[in-house]
Amino acid sequence: MARIPASEMTDCFIAWVKSVADLTEGEVVAIDGKTLRRSYNKKDKLGAVHMVSAWANQSGLSLGQIKTEEKSNEITAIPALLDLLEVKGCIITIDAMGCQTEIAAKIIEKKADYVLAVKDNQKYLHEAIKDYFNEATASDKPDLCQLQSHEECNAEHRRIEVRRCYLSTCLATLPDVARWKGLKSIGMVESQRTFNGRTSLERRYYISTLEGVQIFANAARSHWGVENSLHWVLDVTFREDDSRIRTGYAPENFNIVRQLAINLLKTEPSKMSLKKKRFKAALNDSFREKVMFLD
């Protein structure tokens, strides 16, 4: 495993996923990075491996991953990962690290839509979007601001969360709009959480190629699937952060194997948790065969 080039393992993994997964029009594909925390090697002065993965939210499958030496290099790793994937008709969601003109252009080149989070790494764009929504949401004539809105409310575990999503196709106040290929709208998600009598408010801002607020709201929310359904499972169920595998290509190759296992276990139709499926597959030959050899 330490000697097999990770690029060849990645190519095989992506080819296998393409053979078992059929992404539908409008599928939300979330791209995000994760550090294999204990893969560092102080003796050889090597830092921890950082992997960028693509997660299909509706299908519940990992589509592929690629290694980057440092988190800042996600900017170059994301276009390389997109080149490997077939994402035509999908909606690509990326956090603020991936809000780059080159990445937006690559997504359009792949004939997909995007929802990119905007923070202070795009300072003037962030300020312009923030100022626009401060004005637009305070206006008593939202139609004049080309403003669409959508609201959702969830109450569970003694917590009440109200999510208000806003989308506008008015781009007149943004700086250098032409730099962002395919840009059609700007969005804001406002999350108001009440827990134990305390209320907090958080606002997140986006640029997008989408023109419908409900589709935008679903895409923005679905992005967290890569954290909850992939990264959390890798850490908790597979205990990836505890792994001290660090020789040669082994750290990234075992990350690929774990994601392969997640795909196989999630595709198996029984209602057991992934942890229980893993345990049963270890003890039961027929169940393991059912998991590994998909019909």
Residue spans of the domains in the chain: they are 1-95+223-295, 117-214
Higher pLDDT, 295 or 202: 202
What percentage of the chain reaches a pLDDT higher than 70?
96
Quick: pLDDT tens for 195-208.
888 899 999 999 99
Give me the long-range contacts of 76-85 (CB less than 8 A, separation at least 24): 77/33, 77/52, 78/31, 78/52, 78/103, 78/106, 79/103, 79/106, 81/31, 81/52, 81/54, 82/31, 82/106, 82/107, 82/110, 84/10, 84/11, 84/14, 85/14, 85/29, 85/54, 85/110
Region at 142 (left for phi over 0; alpha for psi -120 to 50; beta for the rest):
alpha
| pLDDT score at 42 | 74
Question: Rounded mean pLDDT of 24-33?
Answer: 92
pTM comes to 0.91
Examine the pLDDT at 294 and tell me if it is beyond 80: no
Quick: pLDDT tens for 137-196.
887 766 666 889 999 988 877 788 899 999 999 999 999 999 999 999 999 999 998 888
Considering the chain, what is the average pLDDT of its residues? 91
Quick: pLDDT tens for 69-115.
665 578 899 999 999 999 999 999 999 999 999 999 999 999 999 99
Quick: pLDDT tens for 247-280.
889 999 999 999 999 999 999 999 899 999 999 9
Question: Rounded mean pLDDT of 46-54?
Answer: 87
| pLDDT score at 144 | 62
